[in-house]
């Protein structure tokens, strides 16, 4: 089944509304950088690579919207679009990587008319979407080789087709292994508080008849101790130059448990998620989201009124807990600064 997380239709960007899946399957249409930024901030679209591609379309949409303005005005409006998009979410480096790439395209055609610039930016956004799927398939093939036939693979959050332009990173590895004829079953952590595992990963796997079992986050240790987990594969939002991995809150806990039980812990990571400008995980900005997400779910609140609440959306797993980084250029076992630098050859 092909999940089109993001699609270009009627000269607008449409994105699956991931806040209401799996109960409702619906697209939200965006026509400006501000609308895309709002979609990212509110998590209509989420997952590092999907955020990056959406932001690229946000730039293109803004350029199309402003293309009849005079060159100077066009420039100011497009700069505002970049600023609004950059402020949407802080942790996934793919957002900033995508904006940087769009800026380079803009600079390369800056002397042309706004109409021409807008067309070039749109072409680049289309290319980034297609490229993301190609990269995920390459990563999938590299990672599939690490999974034994019959493996029971635990994953956290959603690093699937919904988190990318298609195929997925962590779930892409699982899809590729299944496509190669291996019998793989998935254990999906529910992933409190936003429930990406229960709502999105479980939905993706059920759609494709890949066996999946849902657990709450606090059940992972028990299953590992029972010998029911053969490997962990997760995605990531940003990997520092030394290999420290930022991913959805709770990933660190899974990595510690995996080490305790001698279970390999793999991170599927396109090169666009590696941030060589950040030396270690300590410097990765961690988003704190609204406390309402922890208080309850949607309109139901179960936490005691007046209680103090924290809601960090990501955590950092130190590189020494990572068995391997699965990238489109190959697998870096026991990742460190040297191994990561080599990827950029």
DSSP 8-class letter at 2: -
Question: Nearer Cβ to ligand MRU, position 125 or 171?
Answer: 171
Active site residue 17: no
Cα–Cα distance for residue pair 249/312, rounded to 1 Å: 7
Site map 54..83 versus ligand MRU, x via CB under 6 A: ------------------------------
Among 49, 90, 197, 250, binds ligand MRU (CB under 6 A): 49
Cα–Cα distance for residue pair 312/138, rounded to 1 Å: 32
CB of 242 to ligand MRU, least distance (A): 19
- Tokens representing residue 254 in the block: 């899974």
Site map 178..197 versus ligand MRU, x via CB under 6 A: ------------------x-
Bridge partners of 312, per DSSP, are 288
Burial of 94 (0-12, 13-18, 19+ CB in 10 A): buried
Chain centroid to CA 279: how far?
21
Cα–Cα distance for residue pair 178/108, rounded to 1 Å: 42
- Tokens representing residue 286 in the block: 């961690």
Contact 201, 234 (CB under 8 A): no
Question: Among 5-13, 95-103, 207-215, 233-241, which window interacts with ligand MRU (CB under 6 A)?
Answer: 233-241
Burial of 70 (0-12, 13-18, 19+ CB in 10 A): exposed
Cα–Cα distance for residue pair 3/86, rounded to 1 Å: 26
Site map 91..120 versus ligand MRU, x via CB under 6 A: -x----------------------------
DSSP 8-class letter at 90: S
Question: Nearer Cβ to ligand MRU, position 137 or 248?
Answer: 248
Bridge partners of 59, per DSSP, are none
Question: Nearer Cβ to ligand MRU, position 117 or 220?
Answer: 220
Question: Among 6-14, 43-51, 52-60, 114-122, which window interacts with ligand MRU (CB under 6 A)?
Answer: 43-51
HSE value, Cβ hemisphere, 13 Å, CA-based, for 268: 39
CB of 269 to ligand MRU, least distance (A): 8
163 forms part of the interface with ligand MRU (CB under 6 A): yes
159 forms part of the interface with ligand MRU (CB under 6 A): yes
Among 39, 166, 197, 235, binds ligand MRU (CB under 6 A): 235
CB of 148 to ligand MRU, least distance (A): 23
Nearest to 169 by CA among 253, 280, 272: 272
CB of 315 to ligand MRU, least distance (A): 10
- Tokens representing residue 45 in the block: 């679209």
90 forms part of the interface with ligand MRU (CB under 6 A): no
The 274-275 sheet, strands edge to edge: 274-275, 238-240, 245-248, 314-317
Q: Which of 132, 230, 237, 244 is catalytic?
A: 237
Residues between 249 and 308 with contacts to ligand MRU, criterion CB under 6 A:
none
DSSP 8-class letter at 163: G
Question: Among 95-103, 234-242, 274-282, 319-327, which window interacts with ligand MRU (CB under 6 A)?
Answer: 234-242
Catalytic residues: 237
Residues engaged in binding ligand MRU (CB under 6 A): 46-49, 92, 157, 159, 163-164, 169, 196, 235-237, 247-248, 313
């Amino acid at each position: 089944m092909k999940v089109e997380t993001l699609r270009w239709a009627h000269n607008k960007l449409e994105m699956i509304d991931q806040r209401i899946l799996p109960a409702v399957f619906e697209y939200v249409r965006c026509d400006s950088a501000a609308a895309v930024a709002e979609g990212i901030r509110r998590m209509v679209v989420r997952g590092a690579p999907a955020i990056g591609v959406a932001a690229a379309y946000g730039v293109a949409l803004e350029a199309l919207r402003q293309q009849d303005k005079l060159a100077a005005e066009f420039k100011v409006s497009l700069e505002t679009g970049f600023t609004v998009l950059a402020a949407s979410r802080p942790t996934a480096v793919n957002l900033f990587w995508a904006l940087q790439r769009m800026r380079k395209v803009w600079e390369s055609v800056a002397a042309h008319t706004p109409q021409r610039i807008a067309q070039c930016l749109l072409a680049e956004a289309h290319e980034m979407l297609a490229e993301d799927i190609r990269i995920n398939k390459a990563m999938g093939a590299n990672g599939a080789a690490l999974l034994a036939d019959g493996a029971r693979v635990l994953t956290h959050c959603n690093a699937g087709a919904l988190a990318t332009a298609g195929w997925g990173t962590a779930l892409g590895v699982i899809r590729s292994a299944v496509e190669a004829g291996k019998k793989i079953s998935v254990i999906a952590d529910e992933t409190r508080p936003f429930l990406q595992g229960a709502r999105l990963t479980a939905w993706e796997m059920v759609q494709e008849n890949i066996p999946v079992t849902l657990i709450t986050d606090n059940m992972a240790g028990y299953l590992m101790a029972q010998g029911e987990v053969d490997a962990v594969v997760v995605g990531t939002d940003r990997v520092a130059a030394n290999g420290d991995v930022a991913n959805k809150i709770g990933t660190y806990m899974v990595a510690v448990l995996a080490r305790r039980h001698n279970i390999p812990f793999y991170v599927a990571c396109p090169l666009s998620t590696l941030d060589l400008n950040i030396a270690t995980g300590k410097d990765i900005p961690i988003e704190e989201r609204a406390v309402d997400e922890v208080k309850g779910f949607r309109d139901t609140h179960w936490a005691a009124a007046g209680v103090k609440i924290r809601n960090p959306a990501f955590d950092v797993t130190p590189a020494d807990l990572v068995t391997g980084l699965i990238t489109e250029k190959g697998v870096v076992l026991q990742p460190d600064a040297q191994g990561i630098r080599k990827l950029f050859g």
